[in-house]
């Protein structure tokens, strides 16, 4: 049943038969675009990173927003940029400084990836971020979707990509009547056919805001996606322990394994987590304990 407050209510009713048959006429696509823009005009969310076209600022926001809620990113984003205002500043700082600034955002691998991106931009591209998605995809930590989103938001180019909220919009609007698992391969032609060639930046912001609203109105539309997975429980997970360990190490010069055991974690589990952190470049094992990498 379509709710009256659904931003696509009229669109879905008017084109019900065509959508069931999978016939995407130019008129249907145009009216889909109109529905998205109409919703966005009244319901645009305002975030600091949406008010900049600075490529470095966009890269920072896109990496922070991976798997992290916008509210948490909003708390850290400006402070991070104050500490590291450019690719050059981030590239030449210590891992410890980056991880300390990253505390609270989770998934610390992203912090190292972000610094690695900055170093590559400075060392190989003269400090200028490429506007070519294919080049950005070669950067560690940037997959095709993130590379394309950076180009769209930094350079307003009509790249084609999908993220969770965008996926929810296309699943709901074009596949709401179907129960089978829909792949991104099926969605990408629709994304390509509807992206605003003159204002891709705002178009993708509009789609994201629509997706957020749809998730409030309906049980997550992304459940229809072939790629939908249930996020694993965070409490008590290795991911949580990793975060705790890194946070402690950013606050102290060295920490003994015994000190970490006092937090109530099993020794074997801690040893494995610390070993992984060392292999990944976060942590150094010293003769008198563990410390954040100085590289």
Length of the chain: 295
Contact predicate 61/49, CB 8 Å: yes
From 21, 62, 268, 280, active-site residue? 62
User: Helix and strand tally (H, E) in the chain?
Assistant: 16, 2
Q: Is 280 an active-site residue?
A: no
* Residue closest to 210 by CA, chosen among 19, 6, 74: 6
Task: Name the strand (E) or helix (H) holding 213.
Answer: helix 200-217
CA–CA gap between residue 120 and residue 239 (Å, rounded): 27
DSSP lists the bridge partners of residue 290 as: 255, 285
What is the phi-psi region of residue 46: left when phi exceeds 0, alpha when psi lies from -120 to 50, beta otherwise?
beta
Contact predicate 170/191, CB 8 Å: yes
CA–CA gap between residue 90 and residue 107 (Å, rounded): 18
What are the distances in angstroms from CA 99 to CA 59, 68, 115, 192?
17, 16, 10, 37
Number of Cβ within a 10 Å radius of residue 93: 15
Active site residue ranges: 62
């Amino acid at each position: 049943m379509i709710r009256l407050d659904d931003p696509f209510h009229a669109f879905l009713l008017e084109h019900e038969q065509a959508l069931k048959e999978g016939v995407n006429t130019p008129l249907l696509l145009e009216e889909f675009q109109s529905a998205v823009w109409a919703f966005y005009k009244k319901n645009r969310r305002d975030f600091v990173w949406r008010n900049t076209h600075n490529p470095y600022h966009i890269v920072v926001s896109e990496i922070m927003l991976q798997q992290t809620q916008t509210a948490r990113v909003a708390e850290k984003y400006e402070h991070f940029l104050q500490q590291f205002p450019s690719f050059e500043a981030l590239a030449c700082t210590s891992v410890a400084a980056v991880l300390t600034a990253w505390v609270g955002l989770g998934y610390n691998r992203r912090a190292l990836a972000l610094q690695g991106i900055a170093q590559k931009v400075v060392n190989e591209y003269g400090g200028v971020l490429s506007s070519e998605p294919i080049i950005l995809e070669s950067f560690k930590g940037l997959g095709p979707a993130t590379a394309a989103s950076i180009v769209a938001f930094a350079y307003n180019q009509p790249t084609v990509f999908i993220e969770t909220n965008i996926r929810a919009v296309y699943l709901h609007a074009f596949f709401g009547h179907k129960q089978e698992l829909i792949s991104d391969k099926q969605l990408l032609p629709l994304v390509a056919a509807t992206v605003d060639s003159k204002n891709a930046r705002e178009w993708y912001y509009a789609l994201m805001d629509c997706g957020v609203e749809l998730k409030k109105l309906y049980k997550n539309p992304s459940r229809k996606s072939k790629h939908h997975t249930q996020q694993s429980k965070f409490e008590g997970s290795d991911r949580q322990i990793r975060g705790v360990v890194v946070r402690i190490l950013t606050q102290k010069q060295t920490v003994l394994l015994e000190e970490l055991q006092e937090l109530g974690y099993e020794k074997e589990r801690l040893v494995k987590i610390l070993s992984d952190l060392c292999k990944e470049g976060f942590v150094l094992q010293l003769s008198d304990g563990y410390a954040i990498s100085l590289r």
